[in-house]
Amino acid sequence: MASALRAKLEEVKSSGALHAAFNDSFMGDEGCLILKEMLANNRKLRSLDLRGCNIHCDGAVALASLLDGAGIKHPSSTEGSMQAHALQTLGLEWNGLGTFESGVQAMCKAISNNATLTDLDLRNNSISPQGGAAIGAMLARNSTLKKLDLRWNNIGAQGGKALVDSIASNPHSAITEILVAGNKIPEATLGELQALSERNASNPPPPPPPGG
């Protein structure tokens, strides 16, 4: 499987593809380590489909390294360059990122510092209330993510409140669609999330200052 994955990634690179799909490949965490290695300097890929790939904690940590700081200028760089990768859409439905909290935490920390990702699908990932809190902390800082799909996890009332508080407290939040059905989140909280999404859609917040 590893050799086939490497071959497909080489094809993605050589063709300059904007989209790569590995859904239902069951590559597992080992496959994510290969993705980390071979996509680290891919400047063209915009969409990555990893649905149903049996990804857990170690895989989430590997993917986090691809997302951390993407699109952020680094003043210390002699060229003022940005991180090479520029993913805008990432599909991770039907994996196990929430099996261990450290996987979700690593992913969320990376996305907090990401300035390219706009669409993230985390459906059916066994994300707990603690994972929901980590996602909330990410939403309190991120200013580019527009759509977040969290359906059919285990976020609960605690995680739902963290989402509301974080979006509400972030003056640069870009969230216009957040899907949370199947998480046992109270109706009142669902209403608040809907209202916040509609607020951002009708009155887009200003972008954060450079380097902010």
Q: What is the mean pLDDT of residues 179-195?
A: 99
Q: What is the mean pLDDT of residues 81-104?
A: 87
- Give pLDDT, residue 212: 56
What's the predicted TM-score (pTM) here?
Answer: 0.93
- Give pLDDT, residue 83: 53
- Give pLDDT, residue 1: 81
Q: Is residue 99 scored above 50 in pLDDT?
A: yes
Domain ranges across the chain:
2-70+84-202
Model confidence pLDDT, tens digit, residues 125-147:
999 999 999 999 999 999 999 99
Q: Is residue 82 scored above 70 in pLDDT?
A: no
Q: Is residue 120 scored above 80 in pLDDT?
A: yes
Q: What is the mean pLDDT of residues 91-103?
A: 96
- Give pLDDT, residue 73: 52
Decide which of 42 and 69 is more confident: 42
> Which of 2-16, 82-96, 157-171 shows the lowest mean pLDDT across its residues?
82-96
What string of H, E and C letters represents the secondary structure of the chain? CHHHHHHHHHHHHHHCCCEEECCCCCCHHHHHHHHHHHHCCCCCCCEEECCCCCCCHHHHHHHHHHHCCCCCECCCCCCCCECCCCCCEEECCCCCHHHCHHHHHHHHHHHHCCCCCCEEECCCCCCCHHHHHHHHHHHCCCCCCCEEECCCCCCHHHHHHHHHHHHHHCCCCCCCEEECCCCCCCHHHHHHHHHHHHHHHHCCCCCCCCCC
In this structure, which topology does domain 2-70+84-202 adopt according to CATH?
3.80.10
- Give pLDDT, residue 80: 40
